[in-house]
Structure 1
Amino acid sequence: MASNDQLSVPQKDLAEAWRRTLPERLRAGDQAEVYEDEKNPNTLLITIQSAGRQDLEFDFAVTYVDSREIDIQLSDVEKDGQSVDERTDVMQELIADYRRHLHECAQALHHFTHA
Structure 2
Amino acid sequence: MASDEQLNIPQEDLVQAWQQMLPQRLNSGDSTVVSADAADPRTLLVNIKAAGRQKYDFDFSVRYVDSREIDIQVADVEKDGQTTDERSEVPQQLIADYRRHLHECAQSLHHFTHT
TM beyond 0.5: yes
Q: Deviations over 1:42-82 (max 9, x none)?
A: 00000000001111100000000000000000010001211
Which residue pairs with 2:100 in the alignment? Answer: 100
1:9 aligned onto 2:4: no
| Identical counterparts, % of pairs | 64
Tell me the SS of whatever aligns to 1:61. strand
Which residue pairs with 1:36 in the alignment? Answer: 36
Q: Deviations over 1:16-59 (max 9, x none)?
A: 00000000000000000001000000000000000011111000
Shifted more, 14-23 versus 76-85: the winner is 76-85
Which residue pairs with 1:18 in the alignment? Answer: 18
Unaligned runs of 5+ in 1: none
* TM-score, normalization by structure 1: 0.96
Q: Aligned equivalents of 1:49 and 1:91: distance in 2?
A: 12
Which 4+ stretches in 1 moved above 2 angstroms? none
Which residue pairs with 2:80 in the alignment? Answer: 80
Q: Deviations over 1:60-108 (max 9, x none)?
A: 0000000000000001000121100111112111100000000000000
Which residue pairs with 2:114 in the alignment? Answer: 114
- Correspondence 1:62-77 to 2 at 5 A: 62-77=62-77
Query: What's the C-alpha RMSD, in Å, of the aligned pairs?
Result: 0.8
Aligned length: 113
Q: Aligned equivalents of 1:53 and 1:20: distance in 2?
A: 26
Q: Aligned equivalents of 1:27 and 1:20: distance in 2?
A: 15
Displacement of 1:4 in angstroms is 2.8
